Amino acid sequence: MTSATVKQLVRISRNVSNLRRSVAFYHERLGFRTSSPSFTMSPALARMLGYPDGIPTIQRLKFGAQELELIEAGPGVRRYPTDSTSADLWFQHFAIRCVDIDTAYRRLYRPDCVSPSPIAISQRAGNAPAPIRLPAHSGGASAFKFRDPDGHPLELLQLPGYPDAQPGDPDGIDHSAISVADAQRSIAFYTGILGMTVVSRQTNYGDEQCLLDNLQGDQVDVVALQPSGKVTPHIELLAYRSPVGRSLTTSSTPSDIASDRLVLEVSDVRAIVDSLAVPQRGVVSNCSQASTALLSDPDGHLLLLVEHT
């Protein structure tokens, strides 16, 4: 265990194949806005992440108080696997809080957008895309899962009683969820190495969960992990008991379209890197300097650690 801790999830960093198309999608259909002019990635970070087509262009977007970073990875990168499911261990989505999910859903599918329509994951009986209301034993939220033009999964989320009964801004990114093979192993990594705290744990199952994920026999343990500083966004672990998902291939790289990164502000990058000397406790993919490190968690999800934002 290390005394260093994650202070906050600074942003979600996502590779895209066409930056202009993706910016239009997130702006028109979800309400994101640009937070600053586009810029090119630093050569040092581009080398760390291994982009094959040179130094990529970055556009940062805001939704509420939270930030999404879109990186134009270029034509030579591996695309998102077309047959992916929520149980596969490369799955990583982020959930967008909604005061009214029906209004957000209508905006998502508005016909006057020039950007591509979303690809629905959640479907009611009869294969009609629609938000799904989960039962009380699964948290009682209403949610809708879908994909952006590159296949990245996302979720619209209306929490029960929100906004009165829940913390945070009325609109914003609530959490980023990652699929993991072993919940206890991942909890040990995120709490023991990164100093995060388990704030809730439940098992979601039943017909509604199957419709939400578009999977048969769906049963998943959901573990919420909170940073030491800001409450939201938090990280959720999704450990599917059924069905069993596939693992990342050994040839996957940080420049792949599916390789999202959680940018985490931490109190001491070097202390965390030094604590990973035992291989089974996580892998240091690269470290460019004392204040920045790229790690992979036990399932291969990428974490970019920074000391200052």
User: DSSP characters for 250-300?
Assistant: TT--TTSTT--EEEEEES-HHHHHHHT-SGGG-EEEEEEETTEEEEE-TT-
Q: Over pLDDT 90: what percentage of the chain?
A: 72
Closest CA relative to residue 139, chosen from 115, 165, 121, 100? 165
Residues 211, 122 contacting (CB under 8 angstroms): yes
Single pTM value for the model: 0.92
Torsion of CA 52, 21, 105, 161, to 10 degrees: 50
pLDDT of residue 48: 80
Name the domain count of the chain. 1
Residue 262 lies in a domain: yes
Q: Which residues of the chain have pLDDT under 70?
A: 1-2, 162-170, 250, 277-290, 309
Beta bridge partners of 124: 128
**DSSP 8-state symbol, 4:** -
Cα–Cα distance measured from residue 40 to residue 56, given in angstroms and rounded to the nearest whole number:
6
Tokens of 179: 């699929």
Q: How far apart are CA 48 and CA 42, in angstroms?
A: 10
Q: Which residues contact 298 (CB under 8 A, 6 or more apart)?
A: 180, 181, 182, 185, 186, 189, 280, 282
What CATH number is attached to the domain comprising 296?
3.10.180.10
pLDDT of residue 271: 87
Q: Which residues pair with 16 in a beta bridge?
A: 72
Q: What is the pLDDT of residue 289?
A: 53
pLDDT value at residue 98: 92
pLDDT given for residue 162 in this prediction: 58
Task: Evaluate whether residue 1 is within a structural domain.
Answer: no
> What's the CA gap between 81 and 79, in Å, rounded?
6
pLDDT at position 231? 73
Residue 181 placed within a domain? yes
- Residue 228's domain comprises 6-306
pLDDT at 113: 94
